[in-house]
Amino acid sequence: MRFIPHVTVASIIEDQGRFLLVEEMADNRAVFNQPAGHLEADESLIQAALRETLEETGWDVELTGVTGIYLYTAPSNGITYQRVCFAGKPLQQRANHPLDEGIIGPRWLTRDELAAQPERWRSELVLRCIDDYLSGECFPLSLIRD
């Protein structure tokens, strides 16, 4: 069997103790995730993270570092994802910006509000990435080489 990991990006956007999350439909239920998605052809990881955040939340953000690189195999489908997770800060929300299909909308939650709802996480990476961000270890964007 041929092994093909899926490269994805995600963004931890924090503002005064609240985190920008995406409420979206997955497997016929509303779940929370970071703004996240797949790397597209001819796109850098940083460009992908900025694009996905805008497409899923309507927010322009500034990326400030790399929180971590994660390897995750989804129990629901057996697909392995390599997630590059960025840290950043919000700049501005674009009024009436169209969001991707399946997106209910952006939500700002504290870590504790999110932790209280594990049944609503898209995967366990949602809280893990926030906890890694809160641990204070963040790598420079120069870690990412195009």
Residue ranges covered by each domain of the chain: 6-137
Total residues belonging to the chain: 146
What pLDDT shows up at residue 59? 98
Q: pLDDT of the chain along its 146 residues, tens only?
A: 677 779 999 999 999 999 999 999 988 999 999 999 999 999 999 999 999 999 999 999 999 999 999 999 988 888 899 999 999 999 999 999 999 999 999 999 999 999 999 999 999 999 999 999 999 999 999 999 98
Using an 8 Å Cβ cutoff, are 67 and 129 in contact? yes
Q: What is the torsional sign of CA 109, 26, 9, 79? A: positive
What pLDDT shows up at residue 120? 97
Residue 79 to residues 3, 23, 84: CA-CA distances in angstroms? 9, 22, 16
For the domain covering 6-137, report its CATH number.
Answer: 3.90.79.10
Of 129, 64, 111, nearest in space to 90 by CA: 64
φ/ψ (deg, to 5) at 113: -60, -40
Residue 38 to residues 46, 82, 118, 137, 144: CA-CA distances in angstroms? 12, 10, 23, 24, 16
Let me know if 122 is exposed, middle or buried by CB neighbors in 10 A (0-12, 13-18, 19+): buried
Element (H, E) at 20: strand 18-26
Of 31, 7, 6, nearest in space to 114 by CA: 31
